[in-house]
Amino acid sequence: MNPTGTAAPETGNKPSGRGFLRRFRRHRFAMAGLAIVLVLAFCCYFANIVAPFEQNDQHLLLGAKPPSWRHLLGTDQLGRDYLTEILYAGRLSLTIGLSVAVLSTVVGTVLGVIAGYAGRWIGEVVMRITDLFLVVPPLAVLAVALQGLGRSYLIIVLVLAGIGWTVIARVVRGEVLALRERAYVDAALVLGASHLRIVLRHLLPNLAGVAAVSVSVNVATSIILESTLSFLGFGVRPPQSSWGNMLSQASGYVGTPQGYLLYFPGLAILITVLAVSFVGDGLRDAFDPRRKQ
């Protein structure tokens, strides 16, 4: 009961913190994926400590050599330790993936809430804009935008986020349309709660699961898109290096003794994307205990 003597509005089906952690820990693939992501992130962001050699430490007379005990992943054409270069390149790839995921999720969530809660013509305008972005081929838009705006890290993040918010906006709108019909929202309105308070207090907490899953999915998607762009020659430019950039530089070595220059960056992308996807599956199941395992 509140001070006026009337019943306080229910706060909705907010996920329990302890229950969420318990369900997430039971998801073995998610825990394994989380461990892999954390190890990769630590190794890449602390490459100056973990890497066996200095970045861009060239030995031209050594050239490209296959993996050995001294160079676990071999050396590239310039005689640089390939494991070291992959770790430093992973720092940029992971940063782009995480930055794009967070930015696109924030934008998509805000627009989805506006479209779902405001309704009427505002929601229709937002959804028609979303549909417009969805029908445009993303790679074509990215290539043209990066060609005209430049290929700096910031431009790549903004362009990728600019086309990555659409899916989460549609999902959030659908969730908000269902949530605003709940009894606790009507009760809050009757008690005089403002629309902003209802959104912040009652709607956004119930969208935490959708947002968390969106971030994990967008991280994997952004890493793949950035790698594809770099492989096609529209991504980051040297001296910056990413896993996609390394794939592009080694694309001519398929079927040669130097093929490992292509395989190891590709393997890093594959492992990262799978691990992040497993984490996303675990978050989805943990936030929605009604899902069948």
Which pLDDT score is estimated for 44?
Answer: 92
C-alpha angle with apex 26: 23 to 27, nearest 5 degrees? 95
The end-to-end CA distance of the chain, in Å, is 38
Q: Where are the domains of the chain?
A: 26-60+72-287
Q: Which residue, 284, 145, 270, is CA-closest to 209?
A: 284
Residues of the chain with pLDDT under 70: 1-18, 119, 139, 148, 150-151, 186, 195, 288-293
d(CA 222, CA 218): 6
Which pLDDT score is estimated for 43?
Answer: 92
d(CA 198, CA 253): 58
Give domain 26-60+72-287's CATH architecture.
Orthogonal Bundle (1.10)
Q: Tokens representing 277?
A: 């996807």
Q: Which residue, 273, 275, 242, 246, is CA-closest to 258?
A: 246
Which pLDDT score is estimated for 289?
Answer: 53
Which pLDDT score is estimated for 11?
Answer: 44
Whether pTM exceeds 0.75: yes
